[in-house]
Structure 1
Amino acid sequence: MRRTFFFLLTSGLGLVILLSLGVWQLQRLAWKEGILAEIEAKIAAAPTPLPHTPDPEADKYRPVEISGHFEPGEIHVITSIKGPGPGYRIIAAFQTDDGRRIMVERGFVPTRNKRMDRPLGAAKLIGNLHWPVEVDSFTPTPDTGTNVWYARDVVPMAETLQTDPILVIQRTDPASGLRLTPVGIDGIANDHLQYALTWFSLAFIWAAMTAYFLWRTRATSKGST
């Protein structure tokens, strides 16, 4: 009797913990969906002039309208897009009409078009400020000899192109011929529903195993009498 009571107590605590973890993930899901909705609203807002000193936190995703001209100098960041497949993000130097030199992500080209010339000169475009966090300890060092970068890293890219550490992701096309890669929320992980289902599934299995053990224990007790 004492063993059964201890087993039920332990099993009950385990079930409560698993269910609590599932509920916590549902709460995290609601929180993340709220954050994503805020980001979507910010991305889709009306564009404003480029701030004089953009803040990587406060101005991330801010829509801006800029005019100026593209200058020689590109960085090619290797990536892959569903459909076209492997290719490169083209990040170019851009001189604004007010004299600032910034970076603009012009879009995507397949691998075969990496060395093609892109149009330079005057342009007026709308895009979103972005400071992507893509570099970690496993990211290879850029191959500057072949101009192949393995992730976007604003500060080193700016140093290479001799620009301010400001990146605008273009979302309107001034006849560049590139495939646009506008900012969106697709790359922001939101796996909380999957985690919640996992915890609830484990709770169900835990409860089923507990019930089975109790049934077998009772059947064995009856058989021995």
Structure 2
Amino acid sequence: MLLGVLVLAALAVLLSLGTWQLQRLAEKEALIARVAERINAAPEALPARADWPALQADQIEFRRVEFEATFRHDDEVHVFITLGAPKGPIGGQGYFVVTPADLADGTVVFVNRGFVPLAAKDPATRAGGQVEGPQQITGLIRPPEPGTWVTPAADVTRNVWFSRDPAAMAAARAIPADRVAPFTVDQERAALPGGLPQGGETLVSFPNSHLQYAVTWYGLAAALVAVYASFLFNGRRRRG
């Protein structure tokens, strides 16, 4: 009797885990479809400043936007990254060049202009790419990345960062917080003298193994039923 209760409890756990993975599969497939639609859509305007307090990450992430702004190259921020699967010709260790850009209404948006290798951290080595004047910027909105307890702290003195948090970057560059958009924009690849920064390096990847996990849990449930049924059958044969 006790064994039967334990088997039923274990079966319920295994079935619930399998069902949960199927639910996660549906959520992940919906996310992938939503992101694919957004990154291939026609660019829209930036969220209005009045709407910033109500913005939610899932509402704005990967939305394609277009706007005109002027880069503040002297205030660019370098976010360390290892680009393992670059879309452009350059990869490996380096930095995302995240530069504040001034809009005509006084708004400031931090723009991830793209990747540079370690040797090109100094803007003087890529002076041709430091374009001046108003620029038409097209890219994907990314929610802030404040980092976690395992993320190294930014070395503001050396201008080396490990996450993209526009509020923290604005504070380091003495930009009034109320003027800074609560998101960054990953710029699409642009034709620049010298080719740097190498834009269009947004990573859009969502691991989706939920179906395999569901099959595993349901398979274990089926195996448990088969083993218990065999146990009962053999027990009856021995008693017979």
TM range (shorter): 0.7 to 0.9
Q: 1:159 to 1:44 in 2, by over 3 A?
A: farther
Q: Secondary structure of 2:97's match?
A: strand
Name the counterpart of 1:89.
96
Would the aligned equivalents of 2:99 and 2:113 in 1 still touch at CA under 8 Å? yes
1:114 aligns with one of 108, 121, 126: 121
Q: 1:218 to 1:110 in 2, by over 3 A?
A: farther
Aligned counterparts of 1:184 and 1:140: Cα–Cα separation in 2: 21
Report the Cα offset of residue 39 of structure 1: 2.6
Name the counterpart of 2:69.
68
Structure number with greater Rg is 1
Name the counterpart of 1:193.
211
Aligned counterparts of 1:19 and 1:135: Cα–Cα separation in 2: 35
Provide structure 1 residue ranges, at least 5 long, that are not aligned to the other structure.
none
Q: Secondary structure of 1:88's match?
A: strand
Name the counterpart of 2:88.
none
Q: Give the counterpart letter for 1:197 in structure 2.
A: V
Aligned counterparts of 2:94 and 2:231: Cα–Cα separation in 1: 56
* Higher helix proportion: 2
**What number of residue pairs does the alignment pair up?**
217
Report the Cα offset of residue 216 of structure 1: 6.2
Report the Cα offset of residue 173 of structure 1: 1.0
Q: Secondary structure of 1:48's match?
A: coil
Report the Cα offset of residue 21 of structure 1: 1.8
Q: 1:113 to 1:218 in 2, by over 3 A?
A: farther
Deviates more, 1:38-47 or 1:105-114: 38-47
Report the Cα offset of residue 41 of structure 1: 1.4
Q: Secondary structure of 2:60's match?
A: coil
Deviates more, 1:39-48 or 1:143-152: 39-48
Taking structure 1 as the reference length, the TM-score comes to 0.80
Aligned counterparts of 2:198 and 2:221: Cα–Cα separation in 1: 47
Name the counterpart of 1:10.
6
1:170 correspondence with 2:219: no
Would the aligned equivalents of 1:43 and 1:184 in 2 still touch at CA under 8 Å? no
1:180 aligns with one of 199, 203, 207: 199
Would the aligned equivalents of 1:61 and 1:183 in 2 still touch at CA under 8 Å? no
Q: Give the counterpart letter for 2:154 in structure 1.
A: P
Report the Cα offset of residue 217 of structure 1: 4.6
Report the Cα offset of residue 199 of structure 1: 1.7
Provide structure 2 residue ranges, at least 5 long, that are not aligned to the other structure.
86-90
Name the counterpart of 1:158.
170
Q: 1:133 to 1:201 in 2, by over 3 A?
A: farther
Task: Let me know the Cα RMSD of the aligned residues.
Answer: 2.7
Report the Cα offset of residue 104 of structure 1: 0.7
Would the aligned equivalents of 2:144 and 2:184 in 1 still touch at CA under 8 Å? no
Q: Give the counterpart letter for 1:47 in structure 2.
A: P
Report the Cα offset of residue 190 of structure 1: 4.0
1:29 correspondence with 2:12: no
Q: Secondary structure of 1:86's match?
A: strand
1:33-48 aligned at under 5 Å gives the runs: 33-48=29-44
Q: 1:112 to 1:63 in 2, by over 3 A?
A: same
